[in-house]
Amino acid sequence: MPDLLDNILEDIETIPPLPEVAAQVLQMTNDPDVSAAELNQVISRDEALTANLLKLCNSAFYGLPRVISSVTQAIMYLGFQTVRNMVLSTTMDDVYTRQDVSAYNYSPEGLSEHSFATAVAAQVISRKLRPGLADTAFTAGLLHDVGKIVLAKYVQEQKAELVEKSGSSHITQAAEQEILGLNHAQVGSKIGDKWNFPQELILAIGYHHHPEEADGRPLLAVITYLANLVVLRLGIGLADGPFEGTISEYCIESTGYSEEEMEGLCEEIKNAVDSVNEPNEAS
């Protein structure tokens, strides 16, 4: 166990930084003095990133009144924070799909699909509970399982034991903790710290399974928990199909969502996720 834990910690330390464009965009969108032209200059240097960003802009999810044909227009219509989330989504899609995370029973691009759907879900939920938190909630949802990119190879090596301890092919956080010495949420929070994410985001990643344990019990952590639960129930990205997790009493008390309301919420979020892949009628 000590050797295994040491290896995991070393992998966290040596994880590559965020790609340069994404890191620059994150920094710039937190600077009130940065202009749309400056942000456009950085993003437009990456042709693939620009193309993906414009595709997202022109999806039914955003429902803009006109076709968006430039990064500057995207910033003008959607704002710095939404464009930042688009850049981060494209960047993390590349990070997630480069890793073999099949040990967690994801489909081939499942981690990326699950993470993006959780981001959309977190944004939808946040707009109902605290609209001002919606952009940050999207980021938290997108990154909640980032720790799995480090743990995946160790899960593969110890899979039989982890499945036995979990009681199913859905590897639990408790099983990871007992057998690997760290769980994916803890690893994710360490990656968030290494990538200089704000503390609220690190807490949401680190406690997205147990938000009641987070310091100050921030709403962002419980929103991320609920978003993840909904997407698991929808089975998005999962090789084995939907996973029926039980909503916690703490989540019910914190958000007002009861088990009776989950079916409606799942349907709303499924429609929102589907709309990302549909062209906007204005397009």
| pLDDT, tens digit (0-9, with 9 covering 90-100), for 52-75 | 899 989 999 888 888 999 999 998
Chain position carrying tokens 């360490």: 190
| pLDDT reading at 2 higher than 80 | no
d(CA 243, CA 277): 23
Look at the alpha carbons of 189, 26, 117, 161 in this order and tell me if their dihedral is positive or negative. negative
Confidence of residue 26 (pLDDT cuts 50, 70, 90): confident
Q: Between the CA atoms of 245, 249, 255 and 258, what dihedral angle is there, to the nearest 10 degrees?
A: 70
Give per-residue pLDDT as tens, 202-222.
999 999 999 999 888 789 999
Q: Which domains does the chain have, with CATH numbers?
A: 2-276 (1.10.3210.10)
Q: Does the predicted TM-score (pTM) go above 0.85?
A: yes
Q: At CA 236, angle to CA 276 and CA 266, rounded to 5?
A: 75
Number of H helices, E strands in the chain: 16, 0
